[in-house]
Structure 1
């Protein structure tokens, strides 16, 4: 399958997602990690996160992220029980793993292979796809907004992948040779999965699935590279604590190295990658739409002292010129969130370093 190349191909609405924020150019972390023995103290200082090594982490815990079987959701005999599990996962955890998701093994394998090969390319080759001023897409880092802020120990490569007319093909690499097709196939499969999940999520809260049709029409792929850190791994973070400015986020662990942690009951819980599953989490837009019933949970990424970690986050986002509003279960239910333009929330989220859930706090009504 050959991906159609559009130069600067953006639709009037969806293409504006990528122009909702920007990130300043900073040193490549992969190269910095490779020269760890020669890194100056002042260079490392920007990555040291004060107090992070003192956070409570429950490395051994009895609870595991709930597992949802999509095949059971699609089966009339098991859908009721599985939908109840899905409701619990969204209410209590804000995260779940989905198995039997329907994405062909070869599509996932191709995506994993090509993203690893991409990050192995020489820096000058990757820099040909570097982020440009005023655009979130491209190779670089996310949410670098000032010259003195603390930095995350990671590099990323971001693409606005859906809908097709919103793509800017100048960012889509020609190396590795099949990378464009791998992105196209994986992205398209994720859209099918997103539609299925949104349909069942709608049913769990008793609303017409059509109300969610425009809430996951866009997709931003962020391919993440977290180098190992041999000097102070316990004092740096691959991604600072945040919730996602998405409807849902679908995460693929590329090389099964642990690092993702979620905040639960005041502590950080490591998520153990499961090879046959994709990890899904509730985003801010879904929390607003469910009037707080489903939770967009803070999460972060820690760094391994010996191994690099790679992952691919797919942020399924609403129509840019749409409206996000709480859907109430009854006339007696108290409204907890504002009705907002998606554009307003997106610009606020993407133009600030997303510490914790502070953007979502902005969407809450004052009486909360």
Structure 2
């Protein structure tokens, strides 16, 4: 079934120290040793170009549903997926009160005492819960962040033992936000199908399961320019939708070999192409590497929703013409997800396995 409990058993991660607690140590007492595992030696390997941050495409969902503007907006959406792999979505239709509620409750959750949050700690071999992801060895570099992950959709995919009873309205907020987002993801996928001139049914079944990850990035007073909240990676999803809870600049996307900071618009959701959509479009639409940098003084909070096909689904490249060269293998969703989750984050390495070698 789509509420497949096998999903949460795809990954395993080692327990690591809580970063929020580490960040709370007074700057004078925070030693280089304590944050040694977080120092990223090649963080400055590529330039950061803030001047391009205003160019991230903005797509208006209202214009996609309006007969007058649908053609022009569809062309913009195609451009966004081909050239950027990221876009800001405005007029997305998720009600303000649902967004306010999830914002309020995520903030409250991360403010709870550590022992309360640890009641929802990740369990060995489970992707859900409070902790960190992609920690596979005792000596790898760590990200300056704590996270909390849940399978939210479809309802039968949920393991309620991970759903916090505090703050009191949290479960309700997650339920409402996740179901609205699931509908939105399906609707965006339908418009993406239009940009490709394919039957929307071919993408409808690519958005069956939703996993949400709440990300808490504490400030780092000691060496903020040497740590990352999230190492460079592309998403192993079909489509990801991100909401900034406390918006502090930090997200950067890789473009033409440099990093572009993304400044989220106040009422926008940020949508990005995942690896599985890149495979399905035979590389036309790009799943872009991104990372999160850390602020010296301010915390950042966000929630990402990853939408994937069913556990035993497959994704095959759709070709526009018979002349077009097939660049990706037909990929089993379970196999790809297992591979993606079994490695530490490292750019687009997982996706390279899905590429056919061109002779």
TM over 0.5: yes
Aligned partners of 1:147, 1:98: CA distance in 2, in Å? Answer: 39
- Is the Cα contact below 8 Å between 2:3 and 2:154 reproduced in 1? no
| Aligned residue runs from structure 1 range 223-238, under 5 A | 223-238=214-229
Give the Å deviation of 1:58: 0.6
Aligned pair count reads 358
Give 3-state SS (helix, strand or coil) of 1:219's partner: strand
Decide which of 281, 285, 300 is 1:309's aligned counterpart: 300
RMSD: 1.1
Aligned partners of 1:228, 1:55: CA distance in 2, in Å? Answer: 23
**Pairing 1:175–2:133 present:** no
Q: Give the corresponding residue for 1:15.
A: 5
- Is the Cα contact below 8 Å between 2:241 and 2:306 reproduced in 1? yes
**Pairing 1:114–2:105 present:** yes
Give the Å deviation of 1:354: 2.3
Q: Give the corresponding residue for 1:251.
A: 242
Q: Give the corresponding residue for 1:7.
A: none
Deviations 1:212-261 (A, max 9, x none): 12211110000000000000000000000000000010000111111000
Q: Give the corresponding residue for 2:14.
A: 24
Decide which of 337, 342, 351 is 1:351's aligned counterpart: 342
Aligned partners of 2:271, 2:308: CA distance in 1, in Å? Answer: 14
**Pairing 1:360–2:351 present:** yes
TM-score, length-scaled by structure 1: 0.95
Decide which of 86, 89, 100 is 1:95's aligned counterpart: 86
- Is the Cα contact below 8 Å between 1:239 and 1:300 reproduced in 2? yes
Q: Give the corresponding residue for 1:43.
A: 34
**Pairing 1:274–2:265 present:** yes
Give 3-state SS (helix, strand or coil) of 1:52's partner: coil
- Is the Cα contact below 8 Å between 1:159 and 1:171 reproduced in 2? yes
Aligned partners of 1:163, 1:249: CA distance in 2, in Å? Answer: 16
Q: Give the corresponding residue for 1:157.
A: 148
Aligned partners of 2:129, 2:354: CA distance in 1, in Å? Answer: 29
Decide which of 86, 110, 128 is 2:77's aligned counterpart: 86
Give the Å deviation of 1:43: 2.0
- Is the Cα contact below 8 Å between 2:57 and 2:86 reproduced in 1? yes
Give 3-state SS (helix, strand or coil) of 1:215's partner: coil
Q: Give the corresponding residue for 2:67.
A: 76
- Is the Cα contact below 8 Å between 1:217 and 1:317 reproduced in 2? yes
The runs of 4+ residues in structure 1 deviating greater than 4 Å are none
List runs of 5+ in structure 1 lacking aligned partners.
Answer: 1-10
Give 3-state SS (helix, strand or coil) of 2:50's partner: coil
